[in-house]
Structure 1
Amino acid sequence: MDLVEKFDAKGKTGAGYHVEVFQTPVETADEGQPGSKTYKLADGRALDPLSDAKFKIIQTGEKIYRV
């Protein structure tokens, strides 16, 4: 997986988080199609993307928002 993006997010309590986006390279004949993306916090906890700006920390259920 390749790191393709980093951004900051905040929870409702104001706690800040660093989000890292990884993308799996696609090695098929259909070039131009992006691979699947995985969202994680910098500390390694997995995120569930709810929209382009809203995510849920899987371990805790807390929702965080891109800033």
Structure 2
Amino acid sequence: MDLIEKFDAKGKTGAGYHVEVYQDDEGTLPRVKSYKLKDGRSLEPLSDAKFRIVQTGEKIYRL
């Protein structure tokens, strides 16, 4: 997996998060993207700008 993007996000409480986007570097198409917080927690994308932290259920929003 290759790191292809980084961006900041914020939760409803105002807490800030650093998001890292990884893409499968194997030859498969379409290439699969994985979203994780910098601390390693997984994110589920809900839209291009909204994500859910898998471990807590908190929704965060891309800045």
Aligned length: 63
RMSD: 1.2
Q: Distance in 2 between matches of 1:34 and 1:16?
A: 31
- Identical counterparts, % of pairs: 75
**Equivalence for 2:56:** 60
**Equivalence for 1:17:** 17
Q: Does 1:39 align with 2:35?
A: yes
After superposition, what is the alpha-carbon deviation per residue over 1:18-44, rounded to whole angstroms, capped at 9, x for unaligned? 00000002426xxxx551000000000
- Is there any run of 5+ residues in structure 1 with no aligned partner, and where? none
- Is there any run of 5+ residues in structure 2 with no aligned partner, and where? none
Q: For the Cα contact (< 8 Å) 1:57–1:64, is it kept in 2?
A: yes
Larger radius of gyration: 1
For normalisation by structure 2, the TM-score amounts to: 0.94
For normalisation by structure 1, the TM-score amounts to: 0.89
